[in-house]
Amino acid sequence: GKGGAFSFGKSKARMMDETNNTVTFADVAGCDEAKEEVNEIVDFLKDPTKFQKLGGRIPRGVLMVGPPGTGKTLLARAIAGEAKVPFFSISGSDFVEMFVGVGASRVRDMFENAKKHSPCIIFIDEIDAVGRHRGAGMGGGNDEREQTLNQLLVEMDGFEASSGVIVVAATNRADVLDKALLRPGRFDRQVMVGLPDIRGREQILNVHMRKVPIGADVKADILARGTPGFSGADLANLVNEAALFAARRSKRLVEMSDFEDAKDKIYMGPERKSMVMREEERRNTAYHESGHAVIAKLLPKADPVHKVTIMPRGYALGLTWQLPEHDVLSGYKDKMLEEISILFGGRIAEELFVGQMSTGASNDFSRATKLARSMVTRFGMSDSMGVMVYEDSENEGFFGGATKTISEATQQKVDAEIRSILDTQYALSRRLLEENRDKVEKMTRALLDWETIDADQINDIMAGHEPREPKSGVL
């Protein structure tokens, strides 16, 4: 461990007191939103009673969610550093490999110690190791984990929120956590800490480049552009490796060539496989989103596209943002047909340009099918089936299955009609994308370069020009 951290009591938790934790918000870059969200916690820890008097809702548990190496631990330490309070840290995996009862008693000890040092922060890394929903897995060793989890829940309910202990936990799998952990009064705040975008990468590089002597030819913005998919930890590692190259070459400054070699080394190292995969996935996503966006721009009734991005947010890989032109629901037949085409655009672009399809399209597919089904069976929008309602969604599933009120023969006609709508819209999208290959390619390249493009850049591409440089602040 780092100097200043020490073990105490029976708890395996390490405490770092306010004098040797020097991490502040200035050390955490490229995640301004997350910093803003935790700022309130700093205010609270600085002066719990004053915070209460001002009427602030007292925070208790914060869950940081994001891939490894994105700065969740760093941010938790920075909260403690900014507020100048002690920081206790333990990893969820420390709890689980123990004899029955030990994990639970460690949790108890840790909270007891923390309360003595309040206001303070308890940080639990990899909380999913203990916090997986109960009953998951195959019994056996699970008893211990469940006891530990139960103890954690008891502790979180047991201390007064005003006692000044804040529990921060980190995970990259919020979806596997026991729902009990996320209830009000427990980890009821979630802060997303995602992979940094291009500007975030530049800022993170700048933070770490401050620590080494850097040559005049080194450009953080160029390095940021060449490191898509790198986490904060990857970028810190890049600066470190570059410094090692420079040292081996007996240089006094770290130069761009050292960074280039370091990047090659990282790409070829054990990390390589996941990075190459990330890069491939990024390219697929760029084509997929360009497919949606180009179709949305070409069809007359579709809402304007104001932004397209391949920055991963939450669980979606990318997004095409359309703003409705007027404040109406998409209730018109033409518009609904176009929506189906837009939904198909992503998948077709993958087919045409990548030659293989990702699972990213499966949700688009089910949405398109649902829309077509509603048009035929509920909205009376099919020419051949007429304006009759064939299915009442309110009754659907009431007795466990769909209520069958129509004959087998009619059902077949309904299915055929849905199929025909989908086929027609699919063919339309495919033709449009084939006729506009250059635009899809251009948009994909712009997305790979900038990750997010705005309405002006999209319009440039659709007009057949090169997109203008992004406005500052857009990314």
Residues comprising the chain, all counted: 475
**CA-to-CA separations, 391 to 76, 141, 189, 387, 394, in angstroms, rounded:** 52, 49, 41, 12, 9
Size of the site for ligand ADP (CB under 6 A): 17
Binding segment for ligand ADP among 70-78, 214-222, 305-313, 436-444 (CB under 6 A)? 70-78
Q: Residue 291, interface with ligand ADP (CB under 6 A)?
A: no
Q: Residue 168, interface with ligand ADP (CB under 6 A)?
A: no
In the complex, the smallest distance separating the C-beta of residue 33 from ligand ADP, rounded to whole angstroms, is 12
Residue 63's closest CA among 176, 182, 160, 153?
A: 182
Kindly tell me which residue out of 65, 74, 376, 432 binds ligand ADP, with binding defined by CB under 6 A: 74
Q: Residue 48, interface with ligand ADP (CB under 6 A)?
A: no
Kindly tell me which residue out of 63, 156, 195, 204 binds ligand ADP, with binding defined by CB under 6 A: 204
Burial class (CB in 10 A: 0-12, 13-18, 19+), 254: buried
Report the distance separating Cα 117 and Cα 120, nearest Å: 6
* Tokens representing residue 466 in the block: 């090169």
Among candidate residues 82, 202, 289, 417, the one labeled active-site is: 289
For this structure, is 289 an active site residue? Answer: yes
Q: Residue 447, interface with ligand ADP (CB under 6 A)?
A: no
Q: From its phi and psi, is residue 100 left (phi > 0), alpha (psi between -120 and 50) or beta?
A: beta
Q: Residue 345, interface with ligand ADP (CB under 6 A)?
A: no
Extract long-range pairs of 318-322: CB within 8 Å, 24+ residues apart: 318/285, 318/286, 318/288, 318/289, 318/360, 318/447, 319/289, 320/289, 320/292, 320/293, 320/296, 322/296
Tell the residue number behind the tokens 């729902």, with chain if given.
Answer: 179
Report the distance separating Cα 341 and Cα 334, nearest Å: 11
In the complex, the smallest distance separating the C-beta of residue 58 from ligand ADP, rounded to whole angstroms, is 25
Helices (H), 159-210: 198-209
Sign of the CA dihedral with 282 first, then 283, 288, and 289 last: positive
In the complex, the smallest distance separating the C-beta of residue 196 from ligand ADP, rounded to whole angstroms, is 6
End-to-end CA distance of the chain: 37
Query: Given the complex with ligand ADP, which of 30 and 345 has the nearer CB atom?
Result: 30
In the complex, the smallest distance separating the C-beta of residue 242 from ligand ADP, rounded to whole angstroms, is 14
Q: Residue 236, interface with ligand ADP (CB under 6 A)?
A: yes
Binding segment for ligand ADP among 39-47, 65-73, 109-117, 406-414 (CB under 6 A)? 65-73
Sheet holding 165-171, edge to edge: 6-7, 14-16, 87-91, 120-125, 165-171, 61-65, 189-192
Kindly tell me which residue out of 35, 72, 288, 373 binds ligand ADP, with binding defined by CB under 6 A: 72
What x-and-dash track marks residues 135-154 binding ligand ADP by CB under 6 A? --------------------
Q: Residue 29, interface with ligand ADP (CB under 6 A)?
A: yes
Query: Given the complex with ligand ADP, which of 26 and 427 has the nearer CB atom?
Result: 26
Residues 169-188 close enough to bind ligand ADP by CB under 6 A: 170
Kindly tell me which residue out of 21, 25, 65, 73 binds ligand ADP, with binding defined by CB under 6 A: 73
Q: Residue 68, interface with ligand ADP (CB under 6 A)?
A: yes
Report the distance separating Cα 356 and Cα 466, nearest Å: 27
Q: Residue 71, interface with ligand ADP (CB under 6 A)?
A: yes
Q: Residue 207, interface with ligand ADP (CB under 6 A)?
A: yes
Q: Residue 360, interface with ligand ADP (CB under 6 A)?
A: no
Report the distance separating Cα 352 and Cα 433, nearest Å: 8
Residues designated as active site: 289
Binding site for ligand ADP (CB under 6 A): 28-31, 68-74, 170, 204, 207, 232-233, 236
